[in-house]
Amino acid sequence: MICGVSVGVTASASSTATAAIRASHVPQPNSSPPVRWATQSGVSVPALDMKDRVSHCDPRAVVHWWSDTVGKLALGSMTRIAVIGGGRIGEALIAGLLESGRANKDLVVVEPVPMRAELLADRFGIRATDDIADAAKSADLIVIAVKPNDVDGVLGELAKAELGDDHDQVLVSLAAGVPTARMEAKLPAGFPVVRVMPNTPMLVGQGMSAVAPGRYARKEQLALVTEMLESVGKVVTVSETHMDAVTAVSGSGPAYFFLIVEAMIDAAVGLGLTRDVATQLVTQTMLGSAALLEESGQSAVELRVAVTSPAGTTAAGLRELERGAVRSAFHDALEAAKSRSAELGATAD
């Protein structure tokens, strides 16, 4: 009971929660100063913060608040997910989902190697199978976590599945370089597809994923995918036309980072430090610097300037990096990675 309104929740067959608000009478808002109205998600609500709206007991505000609450509940606990591919990325996603509160019964992994399938089932307490069609037919989100060369085989198996005609299911591809149009063409007409470019730090819950919806993916379905990926890191939404650039930056980015770490450790050893000490110094410096950039609210330029005293040691080191054309090297590296991603996508298409 909220402000005299009896509220109930039902779940559809596709496990998408819906709110049903039932009232024997419509309560009048508590007396309050006149307010201006704003439209949010197609619902007119007073332009106040949510606490004020609900405390005033305006029925439209209550409906909006309850719908939003139930929507979040649906995202968090009522979505069935099939992960096709039990490799490192698939396992990382499963681990993150369970840690974020997903129920074991709502997850299934498809893994063709029996020993690997048994290991995942025992480790996470989830169902493991080698039958793609069987796992997919009862899932709300069907996640493809295989190598790009294996995507066609997965799509072929999905064609045998009894996928829903209501387009409530969503195919989520974590395979690099495979366009949504290609996947849509191999699925039932109008089937929603979301393409994702993850990166390997998701293995420790610190991934950076970019999502691009296909032609038929609805806003609420993109929200489901985003919420799922947030269990293993951060998520941004981009146009699919930018996916090659994303691949060059965050998809390949960890490799650039590791190369810098490797080079700094080797240089530190050359200065006389042990490799163990050098590794600790470089690793923690990278971790601390990333945290400072994330939390300080300052730009990378501002933080670099703050460390660089005139004619000091940092200035001397930076001068050598600039002499080595480090900026243009990164520019060329990202351009090359973007071009290669586009080539692979064209081949896949």
Tens of pLDDT, residue by residue over 118-132, are 999 999 999 999 999
Sequence ranges of the domains in the chain: 6-76, 79-240, 253-344
Domains 79-240 and 253-344 share a fold: no
Torsion (CA) 96, 102, 105, 108 in degrees, nearest 10: -30
pLDDT under 50: residue ranges of the chain: 1-2, 4-55, 59-77
Kindly list the distances between the CA atom of residue 162 and the CA atoms of 132, 134, 144, 187, in Å, as whole numbers in the listed order.
11, 8, 17, 11
Closest CA to 278 of 289, 266, 291: 266
Strands (E), 14-154: 17-22, 37-40, 43-46, 81-84, 107-110, 127-129, 141-144
Structure letter (DSSP) for residue 231: G
Identify the pLDDT of residue 78: 64
Q: Name beta bridge partners: 172.
A: 143, 194
CA dist 221 and 211 (Å) reads 12
Identify the pLDDT of residue 344: 84
- The SS3 call for residue 167 is coil
CATH 3.90.1300.10 fits 79-240, yes or no: no
Identify the pLDDT of residue 349: 59
Identify the pLDDT of residue 118: 96
Identify the pLDDT of residue 62: 44
Q: Say which CATH topology domain 253-344 has.
A: ProC C-terminal domain-like fold (1.10.3730)
Q: Sign of the CA dihedral 235, 240, 242, 244?
A: positive
Prediction pTM value: 0.75
Q: What are phi and psi of 108, to 5 degrees?
A: -140, 140
CA dist 207 and 36 (Å) reads 41
What is the SS3 assignment for 176-202?
CCCCHHHHHHCCCCCCCEEEEECCHHH
Identify the pLDDT of residue 57: 55
CA dist 341 and 68 (Å) reads 38
Degrees, nearest 5: CA angle 7-9-14: 160
Identify the pLDDT of residue 23: 34
